[in-house]
Structure 1
Amino acid sequence: MLKGSRILVAGFRPPGGRGRAQRWKGGGGAQELEEIRKCGMKNFRNIQVDEANLLTWQGLIVPDNPPYDKGAFRIEINFPAEYPFKPPKITFKTKIYHPNIDEKGQVCLPVISAENWKPATKTDQVIQSLIALVNDPQPEHPLRADLAEEYSKDRKKFCKNAEEFTKKYGEKRPVD
């Protein structure tokens, strides 16, 4: 549970008639949140939403594949007021050794790029794309050229470094 006025998604109730929250509710965000909660995505857990700002979600990405399967990674999803007409922004709050995620936590994810975004794209599709990217790095579209080169030229070394980094900085994986 996050500090302040944050609540776990299980207790999520969108406040009616309040500016941003009402627009968010009208845009389908509350419904998407409920759908994600109901489907029980095993790779996206511990979803938390701030009652004061329904446009910001946090959760844990729980990868299946080595070298990232030794930890979990907290992400923040920020939905613009214009969502679903503009894509959400994803930021990794947990450090990760990955060619497609920079030191600031910014991620190169084509599905949420301005040129590829489609309003019909649902948040669970974005999350599934993100999980696929974490599990299977794309060195041809790097944000960290040094890691992309290491991944391409010396996969064994990359995996060893990424696993050590994950053990050091990754969050504890949730218990099923």
Structure 2
Amino acid sequence: MTEEKKLKLDGNIKLFAEELKLCFSKDDIEEVARDTGFVKRKSKTCAWEFVCLCCFMDVDVANNTLITLCAKLSKKTAILVSNQALDQRLNERCVKFLKNIFEKLLRQTTTNNTSIPNMWDEYFKRIRILDATAFQVPESYKNIYPGSGGCSQASGVKIQLEYELKSVPL
């Protein structure tokens, strides 16, 4: 039985998995896993299946027990992985591996999908997308992250993201 037939993905997650497959082959994902140090030798669970566990199996990796995660992985892939083996994989190299995959996916999809139809060129010379969020942090951080004063909390953080979707060359 091939890996693709063993792995059963649910509902909406299939769309994201398909996008991932369009951008990366399983060999590409294995290469990223080796480059980041996540995979050093052949094991029961390949990097692709681990990506699926962390991203596509409708499981909150951070808030579930190892037993639950191993059961989910076994159910979806028919591969038995011990709690200890999975625990050893959840480390800084895992974070680096997943971050690398998603950075490459984001880079690839934004460069492939950001062409704005020419019909908008006569109306808009520049399109920027802005988003911001603000949140309170413990008062002990007031020297590092001072609040805005007034009756608000003594410390807080504001983050703004600006993405230039279209611009006219100078």
**TM-score, normalized by length of structure 1?**
0.25
Greater relative CO, 1 or 2 (CA 8 Å, sep 6+): 1
Q: Which structure has the highest helix share of the two?
A: 2
Q: Which structure has the highest strand share of the two?
A: 1
**TM-score, normalized by length of structure 2?**
0.26
